[in-house]
Amino acid sequence: MQSSSERLENEAIIPLLFRLSVPSIIAMATHALYNVVDSIYVGRLSTEALSALSLAFPIQIVLIGIGVGIGIGVSSLIARRLGENNKHAAVNAAEHGIMMIFIGGLVVAIIGYFFSTQILELFTNDEILVQMGSEYIKIILIASISIFYPMVVNHILRGEGNTFVPMVAMLIGSILNIIIDPFIIYGWWIFPRMEIAGAAIATVISQLISGVFLTYILLSDKNELKISLKDFKFNFKIIKDIYIVGFPAMVMQFLASFMLGGMNRILAEFGSTAIAAAGIYFRLQSFVFMPVYGLNQGYMPIMGYNYGHNNPQRMKKTFKSALLVAFIFTTIGFFVFQSIPELMITLFNNDPELIRIGTTALKRISIAFPVIGPAIIISTTFQALGNGFPSLFFSFLRQIIVLLPLMYLLGQWFGLEYLWFAFPISEIVSVIPAAFWIKLTLNDVYQKMTNNIANKKAVQ
């Protein structure tokens, strides 16, 4: 039976890509379903509750950014060290990742306990929305380690080429959340009615249970990397190596948070219903993009391993295959968003104004969906090569330089209905230079690898 490393090196690309990705795609799709169902439960309370959840969303993105940044950095480092046949260094990278999230969780908990209300006040002056949003986000921040830990351990396992266990862990967290939500939100059975705070508590409980499952796997004989924190020795260079790749990915999430916060401030001029409509869009879009991020979880270890193992032909096939699959995923999403936007909005709330605004938003924002899938793969490719800066640059260009100013100007000049066109314009503006940059980067990498192979053969 082949080990994970041997499969990354030898197995046919398309079957390997799907075998590694399908578990993550299923898990990500289930996670997207949880996000939507969670919002539907809250949306049935009131439009204001849905707006408050949308205002808290940028803060959750910051938490995701911390977990994703550390996780991607660790996963990329593990894949490259395994490609170099250095399992001890791969274990050490995993141990440093675990240490980093516990420190981060402590810092975030302190901030959440003391400053939740003040953070929400950055996005709106509406006292009701601030009060409802702070009820939710304070719980999430205090228990942030419950979010960080499963994310990073999942990335550790994916760096080994193991995507099945992360799928199971995400299914456990998401399905439990969907089940627990109504009991605590609405006060079913013996539980008190906690409304929006109940949604946060359900999230924490489900993620903690997912984390317990992952801990069992991580410390068992079933895991290829034998984690043993008793032998842990701090090495600043490993932290640096993790952040070289992970920090740009982290900052990209922070930029997304800043963008969402700025977007909410712009939309606040058009009323809380506009904020709720945008929140619905971002929940629904996860059904389109989460499968691509699931594809990434299989794509990154293949690219990272073969980059470390000096195999340019295998890298080329992997890159082209991932681009095609991502394009298919997001193009399907485009047709769905264009076809049934009204139906998707009514899942959350029957408010006629929300349906009108939300339908227009979904149809206009989704215009660029076909190019977003390949753009995500391009960004991940930079990370797999150990260079996260280009991904950061294009994320900054798209979300901060183009999107927010264009949203504001279109809203001021033409009104809310035209404001949504800022999203597809910003995507197209950023993906064109990104495509040129990745082409030049990969050509350079392939040429250096080919020269190295030729030199080794000459020496032999």
Percent of the chain with pLDDT strictly greater than 70: 95
- Give the whole-angstrom CA distance, residue 383 versus residue 77: 10
Cα distance between residue 197 and residue 40, in whole Å: 15
Q: What average pLDDT score do residues 88-114 get?
A: 89
Identify the residue whose tokens are 């929305």.
129
* Alpha carbons 376 and 431: distance in angstroms, whole number: 9
DSSP structure string for 114-183? HHHHHHHTTT---HHHHHHHHHHHHHHHHTTHHHHHHHHHHHHHHHTT--HHHHHHHHHHHHHHHHHHHH
182 residue type, one letter: P
9 pLDDT exceeds 70?
A: no
pLDDT of residue 108: 94
* pLDDT the model gives residue 5: 62
The mean pLDDT of 200-223, rounded to a whole number, is: 88
> How does residue 182 score in pLDDT terms, banded at 50, 70 and 90?
very high
Of 38-52, 112-126, 219-233, the range with the lowest mean pLDDT is: 219-233
- Tell me the per-residue pLDDT of 431-456, one tens digit each, with 9 for 90 and over: 999 999 989 988 888 888 777 777 77
The pTM assigned to this predicted structure is 0.77
Domain ranges (residues) in the chain: 4-459
Contact 147, 211 (CB under 8 A): no
Average pLDDT, the chain: 86
Question: Who's near 154: CB < 8 A, 6+ residues apart?
Answer: 71, 165, 166, 169, 170, 214
Length of the chain: 460
What are the tokens at 273? 């219903």
**pLDDT tens, position by position, 10-51:** 777 888 888 878 877 887 788 788 888 888 898 888 888 888
Comparing 385 with 269, the larger pLDDT belongs to 269
CA dist 177 → 180, 181, 274 (Å): 5, 6, 27
pLDDT of residue 415: 93
